[in-house]
Amino acid sequence: MKGTREMEIKTAWKQAVWRLKEAGVPEPEMDAWYLLEYATGVTRAAYYTNPDREMPKDETERFLYVVQKREQRIPLQHITGVQDFMGYEFLVNASVLIPRQDTEILVEEAVGLLKHHMCLLDLCTGSGCILLSLLKIAEERGIEEIRGIGTDISGDALKIAEKNKSRLFGQNGDIMAEFLEGDLWEPIREKYGEKMRFDLIVSNPPYISEEEIRSLQEEVRLYDPYIALDGGKDGLCFYREIIGRAPQYLKMGGTLLLEIGCSQGEAVKVLMEEAGFWKVVVKKDLAGLDRVISGVYDS
Ligand code: GLN
């Protein structure tokens, strides 16, 4: 940014908040703190110890540059390149859905089911955040011999998932998790055949209906990958595909655990019961909205 001058840090911060607010960013102050720390290393606490400090020109430039990006409604996570999920840091980019806090409910439910010697499957794995968090938690709790496979139709998404795997597990990554490219079950069938069975299948599939996508906030509508959102005309397209085939890939007594949209509980419950699942339960998120559904398959 040419012609940027030195300015007091409080002036720069206020200017950033004002610009973000004007651009319609939902939480301008919070984002300004994140961007300040990301661009200059100055934390909120450090700011308050000396808000009158002159910010060197290069720091001001870096800060205003990222503010300008955020003004265009580019998500914060695409600027910083990371998102926290279940207390772990995941790399993200425009090829993956940014992990959502809501999805932590699904992971927490799944954690309660983890046992030694399990084989997990995560369909539409994206950044790998669900599968990798589960495996990491299992490792931290001393649950042994847990492995997982994540599938996704996007090879670019899986490049990020692979990086996340290395960051979380280092050398051990390849023993813990395998990512396979392809449409839902397809890569499992191709690599392991029809007889492959899992103890637990999880998924946060795309579930937004075509109509709803148009009304999403810009960060999501313009920057999350469309294929990670689009659940077809009624939003249930992936649930039909997943629930219809899951019995074939579950061990006796295995569980299917899915994230759902808040209005989809009843419809997905019916799909699961029709497919022969029992103990079908819908769990709510912290806002009291339907968020996760689970069912057990026994025959
Ligand atoms: N499983 C990934 C997540 O929950 C990606 C989900 C998706 O692409 N719909 O973040």
pLDDT tens digits, one per residue of 248-260: 999 999 999 999 9
For residue 14, the model assigns a pLDDT of 96
Let me know if 108 is exposed, middle or buried by CB neighbors in 10 A (0-12, 13-18, 19+). middle
Residue 216 in this model has a pLDDT that exceeds 70: yes
Atom of ligand 1 nearest to the CA of 125: 1
- Tell which one of 82, 204, 224 to mutate to probe ligand 1, the residue whose CB is within 8 A of the most ligand atoms: 204
Q: Is 204 in the pocket of ligand 1 (CB under 6 A)?
A: yes
Among the ranges given (1-5, 31-35, 76-80, 203-207), the one the predictor scored with the smallest mean pLDDT: 1-5
Residue 5 in this model has a pLDDT that exceeds 90: no
Mean pLDDT of 119-147: 97
Q: Is 129 in the pocket of ligand 1 (CB under 6 A)?
A: yes
Q: Is the distance from CB of 130 to CB of 109 less than 8 angstroms? A: no
pTM attached to this predicted model: 0.94
For residue 197, the model assigns a pLDDT of 97
Name the residue at shortest CA distance from atom 10 of ligand 1. 99
Q: Is 126 in the pocket of ligand 1 (CB under 6 A)?
A: yes
Q: Is 103 in the pocket of ligand 1 (CB under 6 A)?
A: yes
Q: Is the distance from CB of 280 to CB of 269 less than 8 angstroms? A: yes
Residue 2 in this model has a pLDDT that exceeds 70: no
Atom of ligand 1 nearest to the CA of 126: 5
Q: Is 228 in the pocket of ligand 1 (CB under 6 A)?
A: yes
For 230, residues 6+ apart whose C-beta sits below 8 A from its C-beta are 206, 208, 210, 213
Name the residue at shortest CA distance from atom 1 of ligand 1. 125
For residue 247, the model assigns a pLDDT of 97
Q: Is the distance from CB of 6 to CB of 13 less than 8 angstroms? A: no
Mean pLDDT of 114-131: 98
Mean pLDDT of 206-221: 92
CA of 128 to the centre of ligand 1 (A): 8
Query: Which tops the pLDDT comparison, 171 or 133?
Result: 133
Mean pLDDT estimate for the chain: 95
For residue 41, the model assigns a pLDDT of 94
Residue 6 in this model has a pLDDT that exceeds 80: no
Atom of ligand 1 nearest to the CA of 85: 10
- Tell which one of 101, 109, 129, 264 to mutate to probe ligand 1, the residue whose CB is within 8 A of the most ligand atoms: 129
Nearest to 85 by CA among 99, 75, 96: 99
pLDDT band for position 4 (cuts 50, 70, 90): low
Atom of ligand 1 nearest to the CA of 203: 1
pLDDT digit string, tens, across residues 231-288? 999 999 999 999 999 999 999 999 999 999 999 999 999 999 999 999 999 999 999 9
Residue 3 in this model has a pLDDT that exceeds 60: no
Residue 47 in this model has a pLDDT that exceeds 60: yes
Mean pLDDT of 138-166: 97
